[in-house]
Amino acid sequence: MTFLFNQFVTGLASASSLFLAACGLSIIFGVTRIVNFSHGAFYMIGAYVAVTVTERLSGGFGFWGGIILGSLIVAAIGALVEMTLLRRIYAAHELLQLLLTFGVTLVVEDLVVLIWGPGDLLGPRAPGLKGAFDLFGQPFPTYDFLLIAAGPLTLIAVELLLRRTRWGILVRAATQDREMVAALGVNQQWLFTGVFTLGIFLAAFGAALELPREAASHTMDLQIITEVLVVVVIGGLGNVLGTFIAAIVVSELNAFGILVLPKISIILVFLVMALVLVVRPWGLLGRPETAIRAASGLQIIRWRPLLSVERISLAAGIVAAALLPLVAGSYALTVASEVLIFMLFAASLHLLVGAGGLVSFGHAAYFGLGAYGAALALKQLGLTMAPALVAGPLLGFFGAFLFGWFCVRLSGVYFAMLTLAFAQILWSVAFQWTEVTGGDNGLIGVWPSAWAAPAAHFYWLTLALVVAGIALLRVVLFSPFGYALRALRDSELRAEAIGLSRHYIQWIAFTVAGTFAALAGALYAFLKGSVFPDDLAIPLSIDGLAMVLLGGVGTVGGGVVGAALYKSLSIWVISHTDYSKLALGLLIIGLVSVFPQGVLGAWSKLPLGRLKAGRS
Amino acid sequence: MKMVSALLASVTLAAGLAASFSASAQDTIKIGEINSYSGLPSFTEPYRKGWQLALEQTNATGGVNGKTLEVISKDDGGKPADAVTAANELVSSDVVVMLCGTFFSNIGLAVSDFAKQKKILFLAAEPLTDAITLSKGNRYTFRLRPSNYEQAAMLAEEAAKLPGKKWATVAPNYEYGQSAVAVFKKLLSEKRKDLEWVGEQWPPQGKIDAGAVVEALAKTEPDAILNATFGPDLVKFVREGNTRGLFKNRTVVSFLTGEPEYLDPLKDETPEGWIVTGYPWNAVNIPEHAAFLKAYQAKYNEYPRLGSVVGYSTLEAAAAILAKAKSTDSEKLVDAAEGIQVDTPFGKVTFRKSDHQSTLGAFVGKTALKDGKGVMADVSYRDGAKYLPPESEVKALRPQD
């Protein structure tokens, strides 16, 4: 009995530290509606800065003073980032802010290694709180009690701030209706900067408080960001009390779960999120998102099918691509095949994001299903490459069919997070089910049949399939179904009023997108000769979003162009420098700042007059 | 708009291709090297220093077969797919004669399979999974570091001497952790039939909830604990374990903890008396090591880590294989590599013909605190050859070609 109580109290300490890390994100999202991907990166910087500052200052004041000072420094950095980078794109599509914060994360990851070195830095112990306290006969770290107190205290402080101060009222008003707040004369820019700074301060503070329990390492950001996002979503975005409850629920489930199922930790948080979102679509304490007036960044750009001039030039382009093997070596051809595969992946994601307005954070799940499907068909069923290339998309189809039904019941960020949850659950299954999927050692020996083995032949096969896939996606886009999908994106109320069923149409779109992503995945398996759980993982989903956004989410060809650009750049960068994340992050930040409409979107705005008949 | 996309795509592709051309000289032999430089710099930076030192020494004494040895090194970003791209670039564009490197087990497997497909020699430096030489072994892949099996066998030998009967395990929840525990359990149970495995914990790699894990382990009241966590997870586990008294009156047997990369961050909180594998760089008695240590410290002004030894030995092995084969043909290189003897800072090492595993060993010792830093005490070098599965069994464990 006392053991259970002890385990419960241990779980509370973890809950507190998780809440401290997450509440900043909840506040930021609640007001600015930015899914701040760089929250993990600032958490990490907070940890490193706190280690450095507390080492410089000594004594009792040194530790606590160091923590506060460190958090203030990081908050100032956050304010700087917000003012220089994020402010410029508030008017653009909401997703662009996500992409920008993703770029910031990449930059920070390499900067941290450059500044503080590659090793892990052990955090300082809190003076006077180093020992253990006897709790029912078991030694219990004294510091944990401080943490357990810190969580609710911070919650109360934040709630007081939001409910009893004028600033808090403005913040909550901005959550509900940004335009009205601006119309009433409140300086929206400073409001957002203030909120962002507060959020980052809380993140850094949470990291600093966690230091006596762990080391600052340069992979901290990736480890914390998914947990934090999930906890915030389970609680309900923008609701700090919800975040607190969710943190407790998740930590306690973990603390007791490992007594029963020691391997559950890897998947627990996503299972809980999936369950909560299925039952309560807006999180535990969240409210349905009030219809924000159409984000001014999303223009109603007329999309039209290709004119005959464009069709001819496109055909010429494809012929030119098909002639590539005559001039390029086998490495260049494999790179070209990889770029083509991602063009198809991005095009399928674009159907969801651009045409459907459904931002998916877990699209890589279907890519991975296609890869695993093809690999398993080859290895377990003994099929050859051609049937395997059918088996992969088939598995992706089933996955998207199944998960899609649950996902499209939600909307907005909750939809995105549920897709993430399902993707992570699939990832955990692939990671753990060693007998079938090979676990994290993956499946190897997935090579093409002899006729497709030479680089040129595989390239032609990929080119044919990708061109066919993108063409089919385009046909879907300009079919009556595509129009219906876009109608639902532009105005759900009106679309439903004329009888379009949101659930069915979006479900079909999800399934179609998943199937084409799976085709890309199947080709990828044969290109690389191996399949790993990485092919299902979050970084690949984020890469897909980055490709669509860089190309221009409001354009038809955005996904394809963005993929070509992003993929070629990342392959080139990683081949030429060890600091590929820094380079890629800076590139992304640069491209987003210069081309808020995406590269293709910017092109369509160029006054080239007769060169382009109409906009596309 | 498709015209634009086709144009943009071809332009970006062309830029990428142009950048990937590299000039080749006639009087050099090129080796390709891939590692997770951006993914795990605490290991790979010393590793790079190690192979760069070996390269400098090799070329200073006339190179290999009269030609200068050149290493083209690529980062794989910690992802198997990018490692395969890098390997492809090295083989197709840069025309290297062999590949070496990699750190993570899954990347090692991916590159090993690529090497098998392209029929090029691959000398895996660090990946620890047994699959590379056993269940997924192939003709073209060789591995330098002592595998999971060997390290588990070394630790099991020491663990068998302990009096306790009840054991609990804690390991990261991925293939490395799972196989480390599985092999250790198997080998120890063979030596001691009276053991009871009372508890196991599997925290996700990098995300250990140390308090809960320590409490769960303590509840099972083991006499001894096997630990396979490392890096930041180890730091958290040690801190919580120390504060909650998990290690009092218990012996802990731990993989890898004695390596400076993992021992140094613990500083004055290093737990004492843990039986660990590692590298006590300032307490090595092997003659070849003294020369290596002196050269390394002279060039870099810092002490070597285990990564440094691995990098140095990998390049020494590559040079030795090239010298013995007197050719750059892959088949001849593979034939030369089978059974070759190589000089490393830990003495002479052989690559077995049966499974292409080297007999590089590891140091086993106990952790201790000295001047506020963690060190290894009571160290002894274990020769890998004694801890490998016998050659008679190995053939059955490898895939039949």
d(CA B217, CA B227): 11
Under a CB-based contact definition with an 8 Å cutoff, are residues B277 and B324 in contact?
Answer: no
Q: Which ranges constitute the DSSP H helices of A284-363?
A: 308-322, 330-350
- Verify that A189 and A327 share a domain, yes or no: no
What pLDDT score does A115 carry?
92
Query: CB-CB: which of A442, A572, A603 is closest to B109?
Result: A442
- What's the pLDDT band for A294 if we cut at 50, 70, 90? very low
Domain boundaries, chain B: 25-147+286-361, 149-283+362-387
Assigned domain for A260 exists? no
Task: Report chain A residues whose CB lies below 8 A from the CB of B79.
Answer: 534
d(CA A338, CA A567): 8
Residue B122: strand pairing partners: B99, B141
Query: CB-CB: which of A266, A447, A578 is closest to B38?
Result: A578
Q: Where are the beta strands (DSSP E) in A329-446?
A: 443-444
Exposure b/e, B192-220, CB count within 10 A at least 16 = b:
eeebebbbbbbbbbbbbbbbbbbbbbbbb
Residue B67: strand pairing partners: B64
d(CA A266, CA A432): 9
Could you give the 3-state DSSP secondary structure of residue B168? strand
Task: Report chain A residues whose CB lies below 8 A from the CB of B136.
Answer: 441, 444
- Give the A window 195-214 contacts with B, CB below 8 Å: 212-214
Å between B219 CA and nearest CA of chain A = 8
d(CA B160, CA A347): 59
Quick one: B139 exposed, middle or buried, by C-beta within 10 A (0-12, 13-18, 19+)?
A: middle
**Positions of chain B with pLDDT under 50:** 1, 15-25
Rounded mean pLDDT of A599-603? 78
Assigned domain for A501 exists? yes
Rounded mean pLDDT of A154-175? 88
For residue B115, give Cα distances in angstroms to A140, B108, B262.
52, 10, 31
Q: What is the pLDDT of residues A379-403, one digit of tens each?
A: 999 999 999 999 999 999 999 999 9
Residue A129: strand pairing partners: none
Assigned domain for A250 exists? no
A439 touches chain B (CB under 8 A): yes
Assigned domain for A326 exists? yes
Q: And the tokens for A553? A: 């989410």
**Of A177, A201, A221, at which residue does a domain stop?**
A221
**Of A221, A253, A269, at which residue does a domain stop?**
A221
Assigned domain for A348 exists? yes
d(CA A595, CA A602): 6
A604 touches chain B (CB under 8 A): yes
What pLDDT score does B345 carry?
94
Q: What is the pLDDT of residues B209-218, one digit of tens each?
A: 888 899 999 9
- Give the A window 536-575 contacts with B, CB below 8 Å: 555-557, 560-561, 564-565, 568-569, 571-572, 574-575
Q: What is the pLDDT of residues A12-21, one digit of tens each?
A: 998 998 999 8
Assigned domain for A520 exists? yes
The CATH superfamily of B149-283+362-387 is Response regulator (3.40.50.2300)
Contact A14 B209 (CB under 8 A): yes
Contact B236 A7 (CB under 8 A): no
Taking alpha carbons only, the member of A301, A303, A299 closest to residue A474 is A303
Q: What is the pLDDT of residues A321-349, one digit of tens each?
A: 999 988 988 899 999 999 999 999 999 99
Could you give the 3-state DSSP secondary structure of residue B275? strand
Which percentage of chain A shows pLDDT scores above 70? 95
Q: What is the pLDDT of residues A512-541, one digit of tens each?
A: 999 999 999 999 999 999 999 999 998 899
Rounded mean pLDDT of A551-562? 85
Å between A94 CA and nearest CA of chain B = 24
Task: Report chain B residues whose CB lies below 8 A from the CB of A529.
Answer: 84, 110, 113-114, 117
- Verify that A178 and A64 share a domain, yes or no: yes
What pLDDT score does A64 carry?
85
Assigned domain for A306 exists? no
Residue whose structure tokens are 């590949």: B99
Q: What is the DSSP string of B350-388?
A: EB-TTT-BB---EEEEEEEEETTEEEEEEEEEE-GGGGS
Q: How many CB atoms lie within 10 A of CB A593?
A: 15
Average of per-residue pLDDT values in chain A: 87
Domains B25-147+286-361 and B149-283+362-387 equal at CATH topology level: yes
What pLDDT score does A310 carry?
82
Q: Is the dihedral of CA A8, A271, B107, A360 positive or negative?
A: negative
d(CA A486, CA A476): 11
- What's the pLDDT band for A290 if we cut at 50, 70, 90? low
d(CA A236, CA A243): 7
What is the amino acid identity at position A567? K
Task: Pick A134 or B324 by higher pLDDT.
Answer: B324
Could you give the 3-state DSSP secondary structure of residue A92? coil
Residue A133: strand pairing partners: A140
DSSP state of A361: S
Q: What is the DSSP string of A293-312?
A: ---TT---PPP-PPPHHHHH
Taking alpha carbons only, the member of A337, A313, A343 closest to residue A325 is A337
**Taking the domain B25-147+286-361, which CATH number applies?**
3.40.50.2300
Å between B351 CA and nearest CA of chain A = 24
What pLDDT score does A224 carry?
87
- What's the pLDDT band for A301 if we cut at 50, 70, 90? low
A614 touches chain B (CB under 8 A): no
Taking alpha carbons only, the member of A287, A289, A351, A294 closest to residue A491 is A294
Look at strands B251-258 and B275-278 and give their pairing.
parallel
What pLDDT score does A607 carry?
67
What pLDDT score does A22 carry?
92
Q: What is the pLDDT of residues A245-286, one digit of tens each?
A: 999 999 998 888 888 888 878 788 888 888 898 888 888 888
pTM for this model (two decimals): 0.89
Query: CB-CB: which of A336, A534, A569 is closest to B81?
Result: A534
Residue whose structure tokens are 């890469």: A543
d(CA A331, CA A323): 16
Interface test with B, best of A530, A548, A572, A573 (most B CBs within 10 A): A530
Contact B117 A529 (CB under 8 A): yes
What pLDDT score does A605 carry?
72
Contact A10 B200 (CB under 8 A): no
What is the domain count for chain A? 2
DSSP state of A382: -
Q: What is the pLDDT of residues A343-369, one digit of tens each?
A: 999 999 999 998 988 999 999 999 999
Under a CB-based contact definition with an 8 Å cutoff, are residues A390 and A373 in contact?
Answer: no
Task: Give the residue on A whose Cα is nearest the Cα of B261.
Answer: A119
Please give the helix or strand (H or E) that residue B217 lies within, else none.
helix B210-219
d(CA B175, CA B374): 28
Contact A3 B239 (CB under 8 A): no
- For A178, the domain range is 9-221
